[in-house]
Copies of this chain bind each other. A is one copy, B any other.
Amino acid sequence: MSDRSPLALPFPPAPAIPGATPHIARARYKAWDRCDLTFVMLDPGTTVAGVLTQSKCPSPEVEWCRAALTLGTARALVVNAGNSNAFTGNRGRAAVEAIAARTAAHLGCQPSDVFVASTGVIGVPLPIDKAEAGLDAAFAAAPCSWEDAAATIMTTDTFTKGATTTAVIGDRTVTLVGIVKGSGMIAPDMATMLGFIFTDAAVEPAFLQAALSAANAPSFSCITVDSDTSTSDTVLAFATGKAGNVALSDDDSVGADAFRAALADLCHQLAMLVVRDGEGATKLIEVRVTGADSDLSAHRIAKSIANSPLVKTAIAGEDANWGRVVMAVGKAGEPAERDKLAIRFGDTQVAEGGLAVTGYDEAPVTAHLKGKEIEVGVDLGLGEGRATVWTCDLTHGYISINADYRS
């Protein structure tokens, strides 16, 4: 495992969520002596929503969850770390079905109430015997903390990632806890590698899905580590209803806005943690595009900048190389007029009107680039479209992790 990311944050104090009880166990999917199977037991009445990868080559877990989400109810989440089970044909599908069947038998529920996610190497069928033995151990294990669960879903992650928040719904305060993993193969296309959110709020599935999709768009869908979209990206939100609020069902429900805001805040926190643990990351980069032809156009331009190896290496080198930002705007294929373009690093405008700002003060730019949180601002000068995307720098660490690793 690599050194802890210099951008790491401590795991926050995370309260229990009534009705959602995590357990962990050793399935030993790899030759390691760490917990690698997470089982979260969900009480009857739990609703679920999810966003899943748009990859055309999804894992069988993703296909399973997509089908199960249509029912809107959940009794368990099982997460395997060390093996993504993606691209494994019938044997991979059989492994997911076996996990769901064994868990359903244990809980006395339908297999479709069991949600399964796996992360790790692609192309190796998940061994059913190890999964079943691991499940049995998890069923027998004492409940664990959310931080233990966050540690158990990690692969090349260097720190445990979680967030928590609350919302007031009528006379009840509901709690939300989320855990997430990330690191590499991160350019979520509707979701991130693996993220799980638990709340004791009572929420109808359709409303939960709408709120999650809305929260996902400006968070997980706006981060990129390496432009590589995983086959297994999954974000699931589970609502146990134990808080006893009147169930949220539509926009007019009491507390609907507060819950949506809390979920959006949680997703943003979790997404930032994924970028902070980007493989080899030493700097968190916020790319803010304004003045574009449309919000979608702004998003594409921001992604073009955030995915540019030349921009990411320049920031790794603490080099105010705004010419590479110009290049990335130019290649995005979106409406842009060179002579209306303005670029800033931090609060310092470095280029505008199609050329460098004459004699801009380099000191604050240099100071900004030496920090750990970098902001690149681009104004297109065309319209009202805006978007923000987060990424990390591209360093020797990324090469070491990915070129020196053997599958």
Contact = CB atoms under 8 A, between A and B. Distances in A.
A321 B405 CA distance: 10
Given A122-B324, A395-B399, A403-B317, A87 B228 contact: no
A179 interface: no
A226 interface: yes
A51 to B, nearest CB: 16
B326 A123 contact: yes
The 6 closest A-B pairs by CB, nearest first: A122-B323, A57-B330, A55-B330, A89-B355, A229-B331, A313-B402
Contact of A355 (B91, B121, B331, B335): B91
Interface stretch (A133-141, A243-251, A302-310): A302-310
A320 interface: yes
B336 A404 contact: no
A331 B57 CA distance: 8
A187 B400 CA distance: 24
A7 interface: no
Contacts of A91: 355
Copies of this chain in the oligomer: 2
Interface string A383-397: 000000000011110
Contacts of A324: 122, 185, 228
A55 B313 CA distance: 21
A365 to B, nearest CB: 12
Contacts of A309: 226-228, 309, 394, 398, 402
A166 B121 CA distance: 50
Nearest to A227: B309
B230 A56 contact: no
Contacts of A341: 57, 87
20 contacts: A56-B334, A57-B330, A57-B341, A87-B351, A87-B354, A87-B355, A89-B355, A185-B324, A189-B331, A226-B309, A226-B310, A227-B227, A227-B307, A227-B309, A228-B324, A317-B402, A317-B404, A319-B403, A319-B406, A396-B399
A89 B407 contact: no
Given A317-B403, A399-B395, A228 B55 contact: no
A203 interface: no
Q: How big is the A interface, by class?
A: 35 or more
Contact of A87 (B231, B328, B338, B406): B338
A87 B326 contact: yes
Contact of A399 (B316, B351, B354): B316
Given A88-B355, A331-B187, A351-B87, A326 B403 contact: no
A398 B293 CA distance: 34
Nearest to A328: B228
A339 interface: yes
A237 interface: no
A184 interface: yes
A67 interface: no
B228 A353 contact: no
A406 B317 contact: yes
A84 B321 CA distance: 14
A407 B314 CA distance: 9
